[in-house]
A and B are shown apart, each in its own frame.
Chain A
Amino acid sequence: MASTLRPLMMILFATWLLILGGSVIVFKLIVPIPDLYEGRIGLIVTAILKAGASVALVLVWVWIMVNLRNLYVKRILKPVSSD
Protein backbone atom coordinates (compact mmCIF):
# COMPACT_ATOMS: atom_id res chain seq x y z
CA MET A 1 0.00 0.00 0.00
CA ALA A 2 2.73 2.44 0.98
CA SER A 3 4.58 1.88 -2.31
CA THR A 4 1.36 2.67 -4.22
CA LEU A 5 0.93 5.98 -2.46
CA ARG A 6 4.56 7.14 -2.27
CA PRO A 7 4.78 8.48 -5.87
CA LEU A 8 1.38 10.18 -5.53
CA MET A 9 2.48 11.74 -2.25
CA MET A 10 5.62 12.98 -4.02
CA ILE A 11 3.43 14.58 -6.72
CA LEU A 12 1.31 16.20 -3.97
CA PHE A 13 4.43 17.47 -2.23
CA ALA A 14 5.86 18.82 -5.51
CA THR A 15 2.53 20.55 -6.23
CA TRP A 16 2.60 22.12 -2.75
CA LEU A 17 6.15 23.41 -3.33
CA LEU A 18 5.10 24.77 -6.74
CA ILE A 19 2.16 26.63 -5.16
CA LEU A 20 4.37 28.15 -2.46
CA GLY A 21 7.16 28.94 -4.94
CA GLY A 22 4.74 30.36 -7.49
CA SER A 23 3.08 32.66 -4.96
CA VAL A 24 6.52 33.91 -3.82
CA ILE A 25 7.53 34.67 -7.44
CA VAL A 26 4.23 36.41 -8.27
CA PHE A 27 3.83 38.49 -5.14
CA LYS A 28 7.47 39.07 -4.18
CA LEU A 29 9.04 39.54 -7.62
CA ILE A 30 6.37 40.37 -10.24
CA VAL A 31 3.88 42.51 -8.26
CA PRO A 32 6.52 44.94 -6.83
CA ILE A 33 7.97 45.74 -10.29
CA PRO A 34 7.96 49.57 -10.50
CA ASP A 35 6.30 51.41 -13.41
CA LEU A 36 8.59 51.31 -16.44
CA TYR A 37 7.69 54.85 -17.63
CA GLU A 38 6.19 57.95 -16.06
CA GLY A 39 2.47 58.62 -16.58
CA ARG A 40 -0.60 56.65 -17.62
CA ILE A 41 1.02 54.73 -20.52
CA GLY A 42 3.79 53.51 -18.24
CA LEU A 43 1.17 52.30 -15.75
CA ILE A 44 -0.75 50.37 -18.43
CA VAL A 45 2.40 48.87 -20.02
CA THR A 46 3.69 47.75 -16.63
CA ALA A 47 0.31 46.24 -15.70
CA ILE A 48 0.20 44.30 -19.00
CA LEU A 49 3.77 43.06 -18.45
CA LYS A 50 2.93 41.95 -14.90
CA ALA A 51 -0.21 40.13 -16.07
CA GLY A 52 1.75 38.53 -18.92
CA ALA A 53 4.50 37.36 -16.58
CA SER A 54 1.91 35.89 -14.18
CA VAL A 55 0.11 34.07 -17.01
CA ALA A 56 3.47 32.73 -18.24
CA LEU A 57 4.18 31.46 -14.73
CA VAL A 58 0.81 29.67 -14.62
CA LEU A 59 1.57 28.07 -18.00
CA VAL A 60 4.95 26.90 -16.67
CA TRP A 61 3.11 25.49 -13.61
CA VAL A 62 0.67 23.58 -15.86
CA TRP A 63 3.57 22.34 -18.04
CA ILE A 64 5.41 21.00 -14.97
CA MET A 65 2.21 19.32 -13.69
CA VAL A 66 1.51 17.68 -17.08
CA ASN A 67 5.10 16.38 -17.16
CA LEU A 68 4.85 15.05 -13.62
CA ARG A 69 1.65 13.27 -14.63
CA ASN A 70 3.26 11.86 -17.78
CA LEU A 71 6.29 10.68 -15.81
CA TYR A 72 4.02 8.81 -13.40
CA VAL A 73 1.91 7.38 -16.22
CA LYS A 74 4.99 6.23 -18.19
CA ARG A 75 6.59 4.56 -15.17
CA ILE A 76 3.51 2.99 -13.62
CA LEU A 77 0.46 2.95 -15.86
CA LYS A 78 2.10 2.07 -19.20
CA PRO A 79 3.57 -1.30 -18.10
CA VAL A 80 0.06 -2.32 -17.04
CA SER A 81 -1.39 -1.04 -20.34
CA SER A 82 1.07 -2.91 -22.52
CA ASP A 83 0.47 -6.32 -20.92
Chain B
Amino acid sequence: MSSSPFDSQFLVLVAGFAVLLSAGATYVASSLLIGLLGKKGRVVMDYHKKGKPMVPKPGGPAIILGLVVGEAVLYLFTQQASLLALMATLIIAGVIGLLDDVVTLSGAVKPALLLFASLPILLLGAYDFHLALPFFGAVRLSIIYPILLLLAIPVTSNTVNTIDVLNGVVSGFMLIASIPLIFALLLFGNYVVAAAATVFAATAAAFYLVHRYPSKIFPGDSGSLTLGAGYGALAIIGRAEMVGVVALLPAILNSFFFLSTVKRLVEHRKVKERPIVVSEDGLLTASRKPEAPISLVRLIVARSPMFEHQVAGEILRLAAFSAILAALTALTVRGF
Protein backbone atom coordinates (compact mmCIF):
# COMPACT_ATOMS: atom_id res chain seq x y z
CA MET B 1 0.00 0.00 0.00
CA SER B 2 2.91 2.34 0.73
CA SER B 3 5.76 0.98 -1.28
CA SER B 4 8.09 3.95 -1.81
CA PRO B 5 10.36 5.14 1.03
CA PHE B 6 8.64 8.56 0.98
CA ASP B 7 5.20 6.97 1.36
CA SER B 8 6.43 4.77 4.21
CA GLN B 9 7.97 7.71 6.06
CA PHE B 10 4.81 9.77 5.51
CA LEU B 11 2.62 6.94 6.82
CA VAL B 12 4.83 6.54 9.91
CA LEU B 13 4.50 10.28 10.62
CA VAL B 14 0.72 10.26 10.15
CA ALA B 15 0.40 7.08 12.25
CA GLY B 16 2.53 8.64 15.00
CA PHE B 17 0.31 11.73 15.02
CA ALA B 18 -2.87 9.61 15.04
CA VAL B 19 -1.52 7.45 17.88
CA LEU B 20 -0.67 10.49 20.04
CA LEU B 21 -4.03 12.10 19.30
CA SER B 22 -6.08 8.97 20.05
CA ALA B 23 -4.15 8.17 23.25
CA GLY B 24 -4.39 11.79 24.40
CA ALA B 25 -8.10 12.07 23.57
CA THR B 26 -8.86 8.78 25.36
CA TYR B 27 -6.92 9.73 28.50
CA VAL B 28 -8.28 13.31 28.74
CA ALA B 29 -11.88 12.20 28.01
CA SER B 30 -11.57 9.38 30.59
CA SER B 31 -10.32 11.82 33.22
CA LEU B 32 -13.20 14.22 32.45
CA LEU B 33 -15.71 11.34 32.56
CA ILE B 34 -14.45 10.21 35.99
CA GLY B 35 -15.40 13.62 37.44
CA LEU B 36 -18.59 14.06 35.42
CA LEU B 37 -20.02 10.58 36.03
CA GLY B 38 -19.10 10.81 39.72
CA LYS B 39 -20.98 14.12 40.08
CA LYS B 40 -24.04 12.75 38.25
CA GLY B 41 -24.07 9.66 40.49
CA ARG B 42 -23.49 7.28 37.59
CA VAL B 43 -21.39 4.90 39.66
CA VAL B 44 -21.45 1.13 40.26
CA MET B 45 -20.13 -1.05 43.06
CA ASP B 46 -16.70 -2.64 42.63
CA TYR B 47 -17.64 -6.06 44.04
CA HIS B 48 -14.16 -7.51 44.17
CA LYS B 49 -12.65 -5.08 46.67
CA LYS B 50 -12.64 -4.71 50.41
CA GLY B 51 -15.18 -2.02 51.35
CA LYS B 52 -16.89 -2.30 47.93
CA PRO B 53 -16.06 1.21 46.62
CA MET B 54 -18.23 2.95 44.00
CA VAL B 55 -16.63 3.47 40.57
CA PRO B 56 -17.83 5.71 37.68
CA LYS B 57 -19.21 3.90 34.60
CA PRO B 58 -19.22 3.94 31.57
CA GLY B 59 -15.86 5.08 30.26
CA GLY B 60 -16.80 3.74 26.82
CA PRO B 61 -17.39 7.20 25.28
CA ALA B 62 -13.71 8.01 25.91
CA ILE B 63 -12.67 4.82 24.09
CA ILE B 64 -15.04 5.52 21.18
CA LEU B 65 -13.78 9.11 20.91
CA GLY B 66 -10.11 8.11 21.02
CA LEU B 67 -10.53 5.39 18.40
CA VAL B 68 -12.66 7.45 16.00
CA VAL B 69 -10.39 10.52 16.24
CA GLY B 70 -7.25 8.45 15.55
CA GLU B 71 -8.78 6.47 12.69
CA ALA B 72 -10.27 9.66 11.19
CA VAL B 73 -6.80 11.24 11.03
CA LEU B 74 -5.49 8.13 9.26
CA TYR B 75 -8.43 8.23 6.83
CA LEU B 76 -7.91 11.92 6.02
CA PHE B 77 -4.34 11.24 4.94
CA THR B 78 -4.75 7.81 3.29
CA GLN B 79 -8.35 7.95 1.91
CA GLN B 80 -8.72 4.19 2.39
CA ALA B 81 -12.38 3.07 2.34
CA SER B 82 -11.58 0.25 4.78
CA LEU B 83 -10.89 2.88 7.47
CA LEU B 84 -14.33 4.40 6.85
CA ALA B 85 -15.84 0.94 7.36
CA LEU B 86 -13.79 0.54 10.56
CA MET B 87 -14.99 3.90 11.93
CA ALA B 88 -18.63 3.12 11.10
CA THR B 89 -18.30 -0.28 12.82
CA LEU B 90 -16.79 1.37 15.91
CA ILE B 91 -19.56 3.99 16.09
CA ILE B 92 -22.42 1.48 15.62
CA ALA B 93 -20.96 -0.92 18.23
CA GLY B 94 -20.33 2.03 20.57
CA VAL B 95 -23.93 3.29 20.28
CA ILE B 96 -25.29 -0.24 20.95
CA GLY B 97 -22.94 -0.47 23.94
CA LEU B 98 -24.15 2.89 25.28
CA LEU B 99 -27.74 1.70 24.88
CA ASP B 100 -26.80 -1.44 26.84
CA ASP B 101 -25.18 0.68 29.55
CA VAL B 102 -28.40 2.68 29.95
CA VAL B 103 -31.14 0.04 29.58
CA THR B 104 -29.31 -3.36 29.82
CA LEU B 105 -30.14 -5.32 26.67
CA SER B 106 -30.94 -9.04 26.91
CA GLY B 107 -28.37 -11.72 26.11
CA ALA B 108 -30.06 -12.40 22.74
CA VAL B 109 -30.94 -8.82 21.66
CA LYS B 110 -27.39 -7.50 22.07
CA PRO B 111 -25.72 -9.87 19.55
CA ALA B 112 -28.68 -9.39 17.18
CA LEU B 113 -28.23 -5.60 17.22
CA LEU B 114 -24.48 -5.99 16.77
CA LEU B 115 -25.12 -7.57 13.36
CA PHE B 116 -25.60 -3.97 12.18
CA ALA B 117 -21.99 -3.21 13.17
CA SER B 118 -20.80 -5.75 10.57
CA LEU B 119 -22.74 -4.06 7.76
CA PRO B 120 -20.28 -1.21 6.99
CA ILE B 121 -17.53 -3.74 6.24
CA LEU B 122 -19.88 -5.72 3.97
CA LEU B 123 -21.43 -2.71 2.23
CA LEU B 124 -18.14 -0.88 1.64
CA GLY B 125 -16.52 -4.12 0.45
CA ALA B 126 -13.69 -3.73 2.97
CA TYR B 127 -12.95 -7.46 3.03
CA ASP B 128 -11.36 -10.15 0.92
CA PHE B 129 -13.17 -13.49 0.66
CA HIS B 130 -9.84 -15.30 0.27
CA LEU B 131 -9.21 -16.49 3.84
CA ALA B 132 -5.47 -16.63 4.61
CA LEU B 133 -4.80 -19.92 6.39
CA PRO B 134 -1.67 -21.33 8.05
CA PHE B 135 0.61 -23.63 5.98
CA PHE B 136 -1.24 -23.65 2.65
CA GLY B 137 -2.11 -20.10 1.67
CA ALA B 138 -5.46 -18.51 0.92
CA VAL B 139 -8.75 -20.32 0.38
CA ARG B 140 -11.56 -18.79 -1.70
CA LEU B 141 -14.79 -18.58 0.34
CA SER B 142 -16.89 -16.33 -1.90
CA ILE B 143 -20.30 -17.47 -0.56
CA ILE B 144 -19.65 -18.34 3.07
CA TYR B 145 -17.21 -15.52 3.92
CA PRO B 146 -19.81 -12.69 3.87
CA ILE B 147 -22.07 -14.79 6.14
CA LEU B 148 -19.19 -15.45 8.54
CA LEU B 149 -18.29 -11.74 8.39
CA LEU B 150 -21.82 -10.77 9.42
CA LEU B 151 -21.46 -12.97 12.52
CA ALA B 152 -17.85 -12.02 13.24
CA ILE B 153 -18.43 -8.58 14.78
CA PRO B 154 -21.20 -9.71 17.20
CA VAL B 155 -19.01 -12.69 18.18
CA THR B 156 -15.80 -10.68 18.81
CA SER B 157 -17.72 -7.90 20.61
CA ASN B 158 -19.50 -10.28 22.96
CA THR B 159 -16.40 -12.41 23.49
CA VAL B 160 -14.37 -9.37 24.55
CA ASN B 161 -17.33 -8.17 26.65
CA THR B 162 -17.25 -11.41 28.68
CA ILE B 163 -13.69 -10.84 29.90
CA ASP B 164 -14.54 -7.39 31.27
CA VAL B 165 -14.70 -8.92 34.74
CA LEU B 166 -11.87 -7.42 36.78
CA ASN B 167 -9.97 -4.13 37.03
CA GLY B 168 -7.76 -3.53 33.99
CA VAL B 169 -8.46 -6.87 32.30
CA VAL B 170 -10.36 -5.88 29.15
CA SER B 171 -8.14 -2.86 28.33
CA GLY B 172 -4.92 -4.74 29.16
CA PHE B 173 -6.09 -7.81 27.25
CA MET B 174 -6.89 -5.80 24.12
CA LEU B 175 -3.55 -3.99 24.33
CA ILE B 176 -1.69 -7.34 24.46
CA ALA B 177 -3.89 -8.93 21.75
CA SER B 178 -3.24 -6.01 19.40
CA ILE B 179 0.54 -6.61 19.42
CA PRO B 180 0.49 -9.86 17.34
CA LEU B 181 -2.16 -8.27 15.11
CA ILE B 182 0.15 -5.31 14.35
CA PHE B 183 3.04 -7.77 13.82
CA ALA B 184 0.94 -9.82 11.37
CA LEU B 185 -0.31 -6.77 9.46
CA LEU B 186 3.25 -5.48 9.03
CA LEU B 187 4.35 -8.97 7.95
CA PHE B 188 1.52 -9.18 5.37
CA GLY B 189 2.34 -5.67 4.06
CA ASN B 190 -1.00 -4.14 5.15
CA TYR B 191 0.72 -1.00 6.43
CA VAL B 192 -2.32 1.30 6.62
CA VAL B 193 -4.32 -1.28 8.60
CA ALA B 194 -1.23 -1.84 10.79
CA ALA B 195 -1.28 1.91 11.52
CA ALA B 196 -5.01 1.64 12.36
CA ALA B 197 -4.24 -1.28 14.69
CA THR B 198 -1.51 0.81 16.38
CA VAL B 199 -4.11 3.53 17.02
CA PHE B 200 -6.29 0.79 18.54
CA ALA B 201 -3.43 -0.34 20.81
CA ALA B 202 -2.74 3.28 21.86
CA THR B 203 -6.39 3.77 22.82
CA ALA B 204 -6.42 0.54 24.85
CA ALA B 205 -3.14 1.56 26.55
CA ALA B 206 -4.45 5.04 27.42
CA PHE B 207 -7.63 3.62 28.88
CA TYR B 208 -5.64 0.98 30.78
CA LEU B 209 -3.99 3.82 32.75
CA VAL B 210 -7.33 4.70 34.38
CA HIS B 211 -8.80 1.18 34.29
CA ARG B 212 -5.91 -0.79 35.86
CA TYR B 213 -6.14 -1.89 39.51
CA PRO B 214 -7.56 -0.01 41.41
CA SER B 215 -9.90 1.20 38.65
CA LYS B 216 -10.83 4.87 38.55
CA ILE B 217 -13.48 4.14 35.89
CA PHE B 218 -15.10 1.09 34.27
CA PRO B 219 -15.43 0.89 30.46
CA GLY B 220 -18.99 -0.48 30.58
CA ASP B 221 -20.49 -2.33 27.63
CA SER B 222 -19.94 0.73 25.43
CA GLY B 223 -16.20 0.34 26.02
CA SER B 224 -15.86 -3.44 25.82
CA LEU B 225 -18.20 -3.89 22.83
CA THR B 226 -16.40 -1.10 20.94
CA LEU B 227 -13.00 -2.67 21.65
CA GLY B 228 -14.26 -6.12 20.56
CA ALA B 229 -15.90 -4.79 17.38
CA GLY B 230 -12.81 -2.73 16.52
CA TYR B 231 -10.51 -5.71 16.99
CA GLY B 232 -12.71 -7.93 14.82
CA ALA B 233 -12.97 -5.28 12.11
CA LEU B 234 -9.18 -4.75 12.06
CA ALA B 235 -8.55 -8.51 11.71
CA ILE B 236 -11.05 -8.70 8.81
CA ILE B 237 -9.97 -5.62 6.83
CA GLY B 238 -6.31 -6.56 7.39
CA ARG B 239 -6.83 -10.21 6.29
CA ALA B 240 -5.42 -11.46 9.59
CA GLU B 241 -8.52 -13.34 10.78
CA MET B 242 -6.70 -16.44 12.03
CA VAL B 243 -4.18 -14.34 13.97
CA GLY B 244 -7.05 -12.42 15.57
CA VAL B 245 -8.85 -15.62 16.57
CA VAL B 246 -5.72 -17.09 18.21
CA ALA B 247 -4.90 -13.85 20.06
CA LEU B 248 -8.43 -13.81 21.53
CA LEU B 249 -8.28 -17.48 22.63
CA PRO B 250 -8.43 -16.85 26.43
CA ALA B 251 -11.58 -14.75 25.92
CA ILE B 252 -13.01 -17.31 23.47
CA LEU B 253 -12.39 -20.12 25.98
CA ASN B 254 -13.99 -18.03 28.74
CA SER B 255 -17.13 -17.62 26.58
CA PHE B 256 -17.07 -21.28 25.59
CA PHE B 257 -16.76 -22.50 29.19
CA PHE B 258 -19.53 -20.13 30.30
CA LEU B 259 -21.94 -21.01 27.46
CA SER B 260 -21.27 -24.75 27.71
CA THR B 261 -22.31 -24.72 31.38
CA VAL B 262 -25.16 -22.16 31.21
CA LYS B 263 -26.32 -23.64 27.82
CA ARG B 264 -28.08 -20.46 26.61
CA LEU B 265 -27.38 -16.86 25.61
CA VAL B 266 -27.86 -14.96 28.84
CA GLU B 267 -26.73 -11.59 30.17
CA HIS B 268 -23.98 -12.42 32.71
CA ARG B 269 -25.53 -10.10 35.30
CA LYS B 270 -28.67 -12.30 35.27
CA VAL B 271 -26.91 -15.57 36.12
CA LYS B 272 -28.16 -16.63 39.57
CA GLU B 273 -25.10 -18.54 40.77
CA ARG B 274 -21.87 -16.56 40.61
CA PRO B 275 -18.74 -18.46 39.48
CA ILE B 276 -16.66 -16.88 42.25
CA VAL B 277 -17.20 -15.82 45.85
CA VAL B 278 -15.60 -12.66 47.24
CA SER B 279 -14.62 -12.73 50.93
CA GLU B 280 -14.84 -9.69 53.23
CA ASP B 281 -11.14 -8.96 52.77
CA GLY B 282 -11.48 -9.09 48.98
CA LEU B 283 -10.09 -12.61 48.39
CA LEU B 284 -11.59 -14.31 45.29
CA THR B 285 -12.53 -17.98 45.78
CA ALA B 286 -13.98 -20.49 43.28
CA SER B 287 -17.68 -21.16 43.91
CA ARG B 288 -18.29 -24.56 45.54
CA LYS B 289 -21.74 -24.90 43.94
CA PRO B 290 -21.82 -27.34 41.00
CA GLU B 291 -24.53 -25.26 39.23
CA ALA B 292 -22.29 -22.17 39.14
CA PRO B 293 -21.03 -21.44 35.61
CA ILE B 294 -17.42 -22.19 34.72
CA SER B 295 -15.43 -19.10 33.84
CA LEU B 296 -11.76 -18.31 33.33
CA VAL B 297 -11.59 -16.53 36.71
CA ARG B 298 -13.20 -19.52 38.48
CA LEU B 299 -10.64 -21.87 36.94
CA ILE B 300 -7.74 -19.56 37.86
CA VAL B 301 -8.75 -19.31 41.54
CA ALA B 302 -9.75 -23.00 41.76
CA ARG B 303 -6.39 -24.11 43.19
CA SER B 304 -6.04 -21.29 45.69
CA PRO B 305 -7.91 -18.04 46.40
CA MET B 306 -6.31 -14.85 45.07
CA PHE B 307 -6.78 -11.10 45.26
CA GLU B 308 -8.29 -9.27 42.28
CA HIS B 309 -5.03 -7.77 41.01
CA GLN B 310 -3.37 -11.22 41.12
CA VAL B 311 -6.15 -12.80 39.03
CA ALA B 312 -6.03 -9.88 36.58
CA GLY B 313 -2.28 -10.44 36.24
CA GLU B 314 -2.84 -14.14 35.53
CA ILE B 315 -5.38 -13.36 32.79
CA LEU B 316 -2.94 -10.91 31.19
CA ARG B 317 -0.22 -13.61 31.30
CA LEU B 318 -2.58 -15.96 29.46
CA ALA B 319 -3.19 -13.15 26.94
CA ALA B 320 0.58 -12.84 26.46
CA PHE B 321 0.86 -16.61 25.89
CA SER B 322 -1.91 -16.44 23.28
CA ALA B 323 -0.21 -13.43 21.69
CA ILE B 324 2.91 -15.58 21.17
CA LEU B 325 0.79 -18.33 19.58
CA ALA B 326 -0.88 -15.68 17.39
CA ALA B 327 2.50 -14.35 16.26
CA LEU B 328 3.55 -17.94 15.38
CA THR B 329 0.29 -18.29 13.43
CA ALA B 330 1.15 -15.12 11.51
CA LEU B 331 4.52 -16.62 10.58
CA THR B 332 2.87 -19.83 9.30
CA VAL B 333 0.42 -17.78 7.22
CA ARG B 334 3.21 -15.60 5.85
CA GLY B 335 5.39 -18.61 5.05
CA PHE B 336 3.12 -19.64 2.16
Q: Which residues of B contact A19 (CB under 8 A)?
A: 242, 245-246
A66 in contact (CB, < 8 A):
yes
Q: A5-B317, A20-B134, A23-B133 are in contact. Are A69 and B260 (CB under 8 A)?
A: yes
Given A12-B253, A19-B246, A65-B256, A5:B314 Cβ within 8 A: yes
CB-based contact B290/A81 at 8 Å: yes
Nearest residue (CB) in A for B317 is A5
Within 8 A of B (CB), among A6-51: 8-9, 11-13, 15-16, 19-20, 23-24, 27-28, 31
Partner of A69, one of B242, B257, B286, B300: B257
> What is the chain A residue whose CB lies nearest that of B260?
A66
* Beta-carbon contact of B314 and A15 below 8 Å: no
Question: Complex: how many Å from CA A4 to CA B318?
Answer: 11
Query: Which residues in window 33-83 of A have CB below 8 A to B?
Result: 65-66, 69, 72-73, 76-77, 80-81, 83
Chain A residue with Cβ nearest B245: A19
Residue of A nearest to B305 (CB): A80
Known contacts: A1-B314, A19-B246, A69-B294. The answer to whether A80 contacts B302 by CB under 8 A is: yes
For chain B, what secondary structure do more than half of its interface residues adopt (helix, strand, loop), or is it mixed?
helix
A-chain residues with CB within 8 Å of residue B294 when the two chains form the complex? 69, 73, 77
- For residue A13, which residues in chain B have a CB less than 8 angstroms away from its CB? 325
Q: Does B136 contact A (CB under 8 A)?
A: yes
Known A-B contacts A9-B318, A69-B257; the reply to A77 vs B298 at CB < 8 A is yes
How many A-B residue contacts, CB cutoff 8 Å? 80
Report A-chain residues with C-beta under 8 Å of the C-beta of B246. Answer: 16, 19
Judging by beta carbons under 8 Å apart, are B257 and A80 in contact?
Answer: no
Chain B residues whose CB sits within 8 angstroms of the CB of A28 once the complex forms: 136
Are B288 and A81 touching (Cβ within 8 A)? Answer: yes
Query: Which residues of chain B come closer than 8 Å to A80, judged between CB atoms?
Result: 286, 288, 302-303
Choose one: B134, B289, B318; the contact of A8 (CB below 8 Å).
B318
Please count how many residues in chain B sit with their CB below 8 Å of the partner chain's CB atoms: 37
Q: Which listed residue (A4, A9, A73) contacts B321, Cβ 8 A?
A: A9
Bound together, the chains give a CA A3 to CA B321 distance in angstroms of 15
B321 cross-chain contacts in A, Cβ below 8 A? 5, 9, 12
Given A80-B286, A81-B290, are A27 and B318 also a contact pair (CB < 8 Å)?
no
Distance in Å from the Cβ of A76 to the closest Cβ of chain B? 5
The smallest beta-carbon distance between B151 and chain A, in angstroms, is 14
Q: Decide: A8 and B298 in contact? CB cutoff 8 A.
A: no
In the complex, what distance in Å separates the CA atom of A73 from the CA atom of B314?
18
CB pair A4 B300 closer than 8 Å: yes
Cα–Cα, bound, A21→B63 (Å): 37
B111 within 8 A of A: no
Contact, CB under 8 Å: A27 / B299: no
Which residues of the other chain, A, contact B252 by a CB distance below 8 angstroms? 15
Query: Of A3, A16, A31, which one neighbours B325 at CB under 8 angstroms?
Result: A16
Q: Does B260 contact A77, Cβ atoms closer than 8 Å?
A: no
Given contacts A11-B253, A12-B318, 12 further A-B contacts (CB under 8 A): A1-B310, A5-B314, A8-B300, A15-B253, A19-B242, A20-B332, A24-B135, A27-B139, A28-B136, A69-B257, A76-B299, A80-B286
User: Can you name 7 A-B pairs with beta carbons within 8 Å?
Assistant: A4-B304, A5-B300, A20-B135, A24-B135, A73-B294, A77-B302, A81-B290
Q: Which 6 A-B pairs have the closest CB atoms?
A: A77-B302, A76-B302, A16-B325, A81-B288, A27-B139, A23-B133
A residues engaging B (CB < 8 A)? 1, 3-5, 8-9, 11-13, 15-16, 19-20, 23-24, 27-28, 31, 65-66, 69, 72-73, 76-77, 80-81, 83
